Amino acid sequence: MKKVSIVGGGGNVGASAGLYLAERGVADVLLVDIVEGVPEGKGLDLLEAGPVRGYDSRVSGTHDIADIAGSDVVLVTAGFPRKPGMSRTDLLTKNAEVVGGIAQSIKKHAPDAFVVVVSNPLDVMTYHMRKITGFPPHRVMGMAGILDSARFRAFIAAELGVAPTDVQAMVLGGHGDSMVPLPRYSTVSGVPVTDLLPAETVNRLVERTRKGGGEIVALLKTGSAFYAPGASAIQMVEAILLDNKRLVPAAAYCDGEYDLRDVYVGVPVILGAGGVEKIVQLPLTEAERQALHASAAEVRSSIEELGG
Ligand code: NAD
């Protein structure tokens, strides 16, 4: 059986991802967290759900990161949310410390693993993970685009009254307000949404997608979204484990693609047993290209804030 470790697995996104993955029955799942007892407890709880839900995945938890040894994929969901009074730069530095420490451990204990990063700020943390592990870029990627496009898909489906699974959407760029939803490449069973909805409705749904994370934070008051993020992360993990060559948006290392250099940003990729097997280069309009470059420039400036 393949092994997947979820670092930050005691938290909301990590534990949800653990549940979704266990239910697929394609890997053993290890929840790893610094908080003693929580990953062990949630791991045991998930193991005990198996007989009822009908899965045989072995789920367990640990607070010793050395236990990630032998992992095929390490999913990293560890990180702190922004607290009142904390600046963006403070958060960037704090999460870079967390992700940097985890990167050292992955390099030491699971040197052959693929790494999927979820921690925010996503694109910068993914860059940092690759830099510290020194892994080849195809083995380190970030999850944001599947979530952002899932939100766009859900909003389009609700607006049209159609099945959400019949809606496909593409969202490029960094994970944040500067993301670039592409309505031209978003369809209902192959029919472009731009042929099904008036431009102003499409624009409204695009704006809601851009602010999708904030909408949930405002409702929850404490904490941020975790079910859709957990599910989205597992789609990436599963694509690697099962080599199913999904074409999805993901934060991938661009070095020339889309005329972007030395930056992680959301682009369409083919995900399979080789990790990011290919970055798919879509023809973009000038406005789309500029929006992608502006978004990547924001990521690049945060990377430089962290020392390049
Ligand atoms: P959470 O606070 O519920 O969980 C975070 C967990 O990380 C906690 O259990 C904490 O103990 C653990 N942790 C902290 N430092 C650690 C370390 N060094 N080693 C192991 N575990 C450690 O938060 P959450 O809601 O699960 O969110 C987790 C991260 O995911 C945040 O950075 C959040 O912003 C990000 N996120 C990203 C997306 C995305 O689309 N990329 C979506 C949602 C959340």
Report how far residue 24's alpha carbon sits from residue 153's, in angstroms, rounded to the nearest whole number.
23
Q: What CATH number has the domain spanning 2-142? A: 3.40.50.720
Report how far residue 111's alpha carbon sits from residue 275's, in angstroms, rounded to the nearest whole number.
15
pLDDT of residue 223: 87
Is it true that 2-142 and 145-305 share their CATH fold? Answer: no
pLDDT of residue 87: 78
Q: Is 63 a catalytic residue?
A: no
pLDDT at 85 over 90: no
Res. 82 pLDDT band, cuts 50 70 90: confident
Instruction: Name the residue among 28, 7, 21 with its Cα closest to residue 53.
Output: 21
Beta strands in 8-128 (DSSP E): 27-32, 59-62, 73-76, 114-117
Asked whether 120 lines ligand 1 (CB < 6 A), one says yes
Residue boundaries of the structural domains of the chain = 2-142, 145-305
* Distance (Å) from CA 232 to ligand 1 centroid: 15
Residue nearest to atom 35 of ligand 1 (CA): 119
Residue nearest to atom 34 of ligand 1 (CA): 120
Q: Average pLDDT over the chain, rounded to whole?
A: 96
* Distance (Å) from CA 206 to ligand 1 centroid: 26
- Is residue 7 within 8 A of residue 15, CB to CB? The reply is no
pTM for this predicted structure? 0.98
pLDDT at 128 over 80: yes
Percent of the chain topping pLDDT 70: 100
| DSSP three-state, residue 193 | helix
pLDDT of residue 24: 97
* Distance (Å) from CA 52 to ligand 1 centroid: 28
Q: Which atom of ligand 1 is nearest to the CA of 79?
A: 32
Q: What CATH number has the domain spanning 145-305? A: 3.90.110.10
pLDDT of residue 308: 80
pLDDT at 245 over 90: yes
Asked whether 226 lines ligand 1 (CB < 6 A), one says yes
* Distance (Å) from CA 33 to ligand 1 centroid: 10
CB neighbours of residue 279 within 10 Å: 20
Within 8 A by CB and 6+ apart from 196, the residues are 160, 188
Res. 179 pLDDT band, cuts 50 70 90: very high
